[in-house]
Amino acid sequence: MSGILGLRKAMPSRREALALGAGSAALAAGLLAGCGSGGSADPGTGEDGQPKRVAMVISSPKNDGGWGQGHYESLKRAIESHPKWEMLEPKESVADADAADAAQSYVDQDVDLIVGAGNEFASVWAEVVAEAAESHPKVHFLITNTDPAVDLADYQTLDNLETVLTDLSQSGALAGVVAGLMTKTKSIGFIGGAKLPTTLTKYAAYLAAAQKVTPGVEGHYNFEAGFTDASLGARLTENWIAANDVDVMWGDASAVDNGARQALEEAGADTHFDIAQPIDIAGEGQATVITSTVIDWKIDQAMDEIEKGEFGSGKTISADMSNGGISLGKFSDKVPADVQEKIREQVELISAGNFLTDAEIDAVRSTL
């Protein structure tokens, strides 16, 4: 395997990674907040009969094609399933220095649910969350991609807050099964935006799964590509195609992934393929995308808890295959029908927890 890696602390924020030169704001995480309905007869409205409201803070554009868009689409799906809720226009491209003010502006409006994209918000919202618990008890917060034990250790209260974590091993395994069954050269690639532990877990599961369905598959990776330079994604992929005959890619680097797709298309869109994430884009003018690993941040589940008066106490919502938090998107017609069927068989095993073991994933990770 070829690659570049340097581990950092347990759960560094994506914004911290950017500050170290790992990339720019396309990798925001999402935050969600809400409160119980009090005595309202309709769980979808407040005590005054008005719709409950949800807002989102994103450190990237809401249509960035990656992390920010994944959160925004999750929010829109949640609204579709909760038609009595009202979605406020998200605050986009919010800088670190403005993150607390962005959250406070929603608190001042007594917004029921505040969604902010990533664990970088956890590091700057502690005071806002604490003050809101006292002065605006109907306001609650949900922060995505956040480990309470690590990221919220200095919070004064978690009564009005929950977090969301995705099953990264499932995401990686889904991509790996597709890559392993679609590669003809037994050489696959991966681009990560930052040297985060989450990135390593995704890649380790990706390669382990590919090797399980097709023994002998080799992986090539870069974990320091950032999130904005599409030309870097193109150069990395071109080099791997020329030197290692890579014919399938999966990425975790937002705009950089677009460059990888360009290089794959130039090498031949009928023989070189990409697996997109975190939104489903196969067939939408994407010549090389054969499917997508999709994340739903379970904002709908947080809304349900708010309506029932069960939200808060620092609980963590798990976004995984059991609740639609992790899924495989639609296939392009470049995936043969028999391969699609083999993939579906493996997807069932992954969902049931019967495909990869922790030891198999750790065996790959230990080599990074």
Domain with CATH 3.40.50.2300 in the chain: 14-167+296-319, 168-294+327-365
d(CA 295, CA 202): 13
Per-residue pLDDT band for 4 (boundaries 50, 70, 90) equals very low
Name which of 95, 152, 141 is nearest 119 in CA terms.
Answer: 152
Q: How far is Cα 210 from Cα 113, in angstroms, rounded to an integer?
A: 39
| Overall average pLDDT of the 142-152 stretch | 94
Report CA torsion sign: 208, 210, 211, 213: positive
Distance of alpha carbon 276 from the chain centroid: 12
Q: Report d(CA 276, CA 267) in Å as an integer.
A: 18
R_g of the chain computed on alpha carbons: 20
Distance from C-alpha of 67 to C-alpha of 87, rounded to nearest angstrom = 19
pLDDT at 26: 35
Residues 278/282/287/290 CA torsion (nearest 10 deg):
90
The dihedral over CA atoms of 16, 17, 18, 19, expressed in degrees to the nearest 10, equals 50
d(CA 177, CA 170): 11
**Does the 168-294+327-365 domain belong in CATH 3.40.50.2300?**
yes
d(CA 66, CA 279): 7
Query: pTM for the full model?
Result: 0.86
**Which residue type is seen at 111?**
V
- Please give the C-alpha separations between residue 196 and each of 5, 33, 64, 272, 293, in angstroms, as whole numbers: 9, 25, 20, 27, 19
Per residue in 171-185, pLDDT (tens digit) is 999 999 999 999 999
Q: Tell me the CATH architecture of domain 14-167+296-319.
A: 3-Layer(aba) Sandwich (3.40)
pLDDT tens readout for residues 248-287: 999 999 899 999 999 999 999 999 999 999 999 998 789 9
Q: What's the length of the chain?
A: 368
- Please state, for a pLDDT cut of 90, what percent of the chain lies above it: 81
Cα 240 to Cα 188, 236, 353, distances in angstroms = 9, 6, 32
Question: Of 60-64, 215-219, 263-267, where does mean pLDDT reach its minimum?
Answer: 60-64
Q: So what's the pLDDT on residue 47?
A: 66
Name the pLDDT band for 25 (thresholds 50, 70, 90). very low
The β-bridge partners of 163 are 143, 316
pLDDT-based confidence at residue 12 (cuts at 50, 70, 90): low
pLDDT category at 64 given cuts 50, 70, 90 is confident
- Per-residue pLDDT band for 49 (boundaries 50, 70, 90) equals confident
CA atoms of 348 and 345, how far apart (whole Å): 5
Cα–Cα distance between 344 and 276 in angstroms, integer? Answer: 17
Mean pLDDT computed over 94-98:
95
Q: Among 21-30, 151-160, 219-228, 349-358, whose mean pLDDT is lowest?
A: 21-30
